[in-house]
Amino acid sequence: MKRTRLNLVVDLAAIVLLLGMIATGFILWFPLPPGTETTRTLWGLTRYSWGHVHAWISLALLAVLLVHVALHWKWLVSVVGRRLGHEKMSARQTAVAGLITAVVLLIFASLFALLTFLNVRPLTESQRPGLPVTPGNAGSATTQNTVENPQSETGDEQTPPDTDLATDTIAAVSWSTDVWPILQRRCLRCHGPDRAAGNFRVDREEDFYGGDGGPLIMRGRSDASGLIDIVTGARRLPRPGSHRLAEDAVEVLKNWIDAGAPRVP
């Protein structure tokens, strides 16, 4: 392929990839904004999947730009050389300049990657994002507040909550608004369509009721469900900190299982 034609192909590829980044960025910003992971899809893909598409397009564009720089390297070196007072640079000097540039870029990229890994910190309980305010969550919060604070503002002891009200609170926990956001936020990255650690996926209902380790959910029995043992740390697993959930999230899962683990596809 002639040099001119190769340059044209590279430039066209860069333009197409740039338009792809703009298009996917628009999708993640407007049609599928944050918070729509469980409520909307576009052409069969969720916001989570479109985020992966956007990332791969970005990497492809970076690769094309590196090829573009390589094809025009002699011209770039000559321009910079003239700016520095060198009228003409030999082929060896051009190659050395390219090697030094590549090493410097590699060092900066390595330092950036190292800094990102060294500065990752787990969220504290107070920093973890709360669940969306729904009737199920509101009911659970009210019941919990009543149990933990049995006295009213006047100091009088409150009566125990009505049994029927507690049952309604458990039944009000919803898969789509209460349970799935927890699993999506904390579990989907390692147990989803892109990566199924332990051959388990939280987006497949059958995985909760079968698999190599047996059922993780016993409908109506949160005390006998392996899922609760995992998220509370009672079951010993690799990386226990990544499996353990906050108390309020565990309570939501318990209420959902005790209500029979209802799920609306």
pLDDT digits (tens, 9 = 90+) for 12-55: 999 999 999 999 999 999 998 876 766 788 998 888 889 999 99
Q: Is the dihedral of CA 221, 227, 230, 233 positive or negative?
A: negative
| Nearest in space to 80 (alpha carbons), one of 111, 59, 101 | 101
Number of residues written out for the chain: 265
Amino acid 56: pLDDT: 95
Q: pLDDT class for 150, splitting at 50, 70, 90?
A: very low
Q: What is the pLDDT of residues 214-227, one digit of tens each?
A: 788 888 898 988 88
| Amino acid at residue number 204 | R
Mean pLDDT calculated for residue range 156-181: 59
Q: What is the CB-side half-sphere exposure of residue 231 using CA atoms within 13 A?
A: 22
| Amino acid at residue number 124 | T
Amino acid 40: pLDDT: 80
- Average pLDDT score, the chain: 77
Q: Give the C-alpha separation, 258 to 112, whole Å.
A: 46
| Nearest in space to 60 (alpha carbons), one of 32, 92, 18, 101 | 18
* Range name among 73-77, 105-109, 125-129 with the lowest pLDDT average: 125-129
Both tokens of 179, joined, read 């349970």
Q: pLDDT class for 240, splitting at 50, 70, 90?
A: low
Q: What SS3 state is found at 151? A: strand
